[in-house]
Amino acid sequence: MNCGSLYRIHGYNTRCGALVDRIQLKCRLASVLDAEAKKIQAAKDKAAAEAAERARIAKMRKDAEDARVAAEKARAAEEARLKKEAADKAAAEKAEAERKKKAEEEKKRKEAEAAEKKRKEEEAAAKKAAEEKAAAEKAAAEKAKKEEEEKKRKEAEAAEKKRKAEEAAAKAAAEAKAAAEAKKLAEEKAAAEKAAAEAKAAKEAAEKKRKEEEAAAKAAEEKRKKEEAEAKAKQEAADKAAAEKAAAEAAAVKKAEEEAKAKLAAEEARIRKAAEALAAKQKKAKEEAEAAVLAEANKISENVQKNNTAPIAEIAETIIACDHLLEQCLWMEDNADYPSFGEMYCYMDGDTKYGGAARCCAEVIKAGLKPNSKCKGM
């Protein structure tokens, strides 16, 4: 398909329903497209010129700023010189003041030395008086300490005396308790001897009873063996009957399996036959749909082929390819690995941002198409 002489393809106009209604090329004069390209280039040139002007203005501003910085440095140097002169004058005045201050300090130092000598003499006298007072206080403290230690010793002796009295009372109580326990043990021993005599009598009676029970058990064992022999004979007869019954059931199961296999084979043959019929029906429907597409394409061929020399069969193939492409676009909508439709181009020439499979997707979402829809036309 092409637009003919003096024109250039710019896109597609399509419209879809159950079948394709119309597919048209978007064609514009090549001169118009070239003029638009020139306008775009002119706009780019204008933008470049504006950028150069902005760069020139920026350079002028930078030069002015450099000059301002140089002037600022010169002013700062002058201020530093004036400050230095003022500092030198202040240093001279300060030196004179310090000389006078030192003379005054020397006078005050001598006066302070005399005062310090007097203070030391007074401190020595006060220290001596303090030492005498501390010695008196120490003697009084030692006396009080000795009195306190004597008091604690007497309290300890009284406590020890009390402890010994309590131990003697506890010992007497323990001896009384031991005597009571010895009496109790003697009583328990007598009771134990009595119980032993009673146990001996009971043991003799139990031995007698055991012998009687053994005789009864022996008779019961003979009876049990007899009953086991009878039960064994009955079990053998029952096992034989069960084996015969199991053989009969196994034969019945085998027969049922063979019948089930036969039914399954018949069902599989029926399903194969139905599948073949369905495939034939789908093939027929596809052929009818393609025939309908070709018939519909004949109706719109006048509008499509005004500036196009492509045959109708090629148009029909393009329409069918669009339907297949629609299925891919709708599949990609649910696949997180693909970008959203808003980021895709919409052309049917296969030259797209994300590959040929992405074409038409933007128009698919605009048209609100869903899975199993047919291409209305992009």
DSSP string, 36-100: HHHHHHHHHHHHHHHHHHHHHHHHHHHHHHHHHHHHHHHHHHHHHHHHHHHHHHHHHHHHHHHHH
Q: What's the longest Cα–Cα distance across the chain?
A: 147
Tell me what pLDDT residue 16 has: 63
The Cα–Cα gap between 117 and 113 comes to: 6
155 CB burial (10 A radius; 0-12, 13-18, 19+): exposed
Single out the residue of 317, 278, 272 nearest to residue 294, CA to CA: 317
Overall average pLDDT of the 6-13 stretch: 74
CB-CB neighbours of 369 under 10 Å = 19
- Does 225 have pLDDT greater than 70? yes
Mean pLDDT of the chain: 77
- Does 9 have pLDDT greater than 70? yes
- pLDDT, tens digit, for every residue of 306-315? 544 444 444 4
Encoded tokens for 335: 């696949």
Least confident of 115-124, 137-146, 269-278, 331-340: 331-340
- pLDDT, tens digit, for every residue of 150-204? 888 888 888 888 888 888 888 888 888 888 888 888 888 888 888 888 888 888 8
Tell me what pLDDT residue 46 has: 92
The Cα–Cα gap between 236 and 242 comes to: 10
- Does 362 have pLDDT greater than 70? no
**Which residues does 296 contact at the CB level (< 8 Å), separation at least 6?**
19, 20, 21
Residue with the larger pLDDT of the pair 269 and 2? 269
- Sorting pLDDT into bands at 50, 70 and 90, what band is 50? very high
The Cα–Cα gap between 347 and 211 comes to: 113
Distances from the Cα of 305 to the Cα of 8, 233, 322, 371, angstroms: 15, 104, 19, 31
Q: 24 - beta bridge partners?
A: 13
The Cα–Cα gap between 315 and 1 comes to: 8
- pLDDT, tens digit, for every residue of 333-359? 555 555 444 444 343 344 444 444 444
Tell me what pLDDT residue 53 has: 92
Tell me what pLDDT residue 364 has: 53
- Sorting pLDDT into bands at 50, 70 and 90, what band is 52? very high
271-295 exposure pattern, b = at least 16 Cβ within 10 A, e = fewer = eeeeeeeeeeeeeeeeeeeeeebee
Tell me, what amino acid is at 358? A
- Sorting pLDDT into bands at 50, 70 and 90, what band is 297? low
Overall average pLDDT of the 91-120 stretch: 89
The Cα–Cα gap between 358 and 351 comes to: 10
Most confident of 82-91, 279-288, 306-315: 82-91
Q: 20 - beta bridge partners?
A: 16
Kindly write down the DSSP assignment for every residue of 346-377, as one continuous string: --SSS--SS-GGGTTHHHHHHHT--TT-----
**Which residues does 206 contact at the CB level (< 8 Å), separation at least 6?**
none
Tell me what pLDDT residue 307 has: 47
Overall average pLDDT of the 226-241 stretch: 86
Overall average pLDDT of the 86-108 stretch: 90
Q: 14 - beta bridge partners?
A: 23
Distances from the Cα of 118 to the Cα of 13, 121, 298, angstroms: 121, 5, 137
Tell me what pLDDT residue 287 has: 78
Give strand ranges (E) for 129-253: none
Tell me what pLDDT residue 20 has: 55
The Cα–Cα gap between 156 and 152 comes to: 6
Single out the residue of 1, 97, 10, 15 nearest to residue 367, CA to CA: 15
Tell me what pLDDT residue 312 has: 44
- The percentage of the chain sitting over the pLDDT mark of 90, rounded to a whole number, equals 11
Length of the chain equals: 378
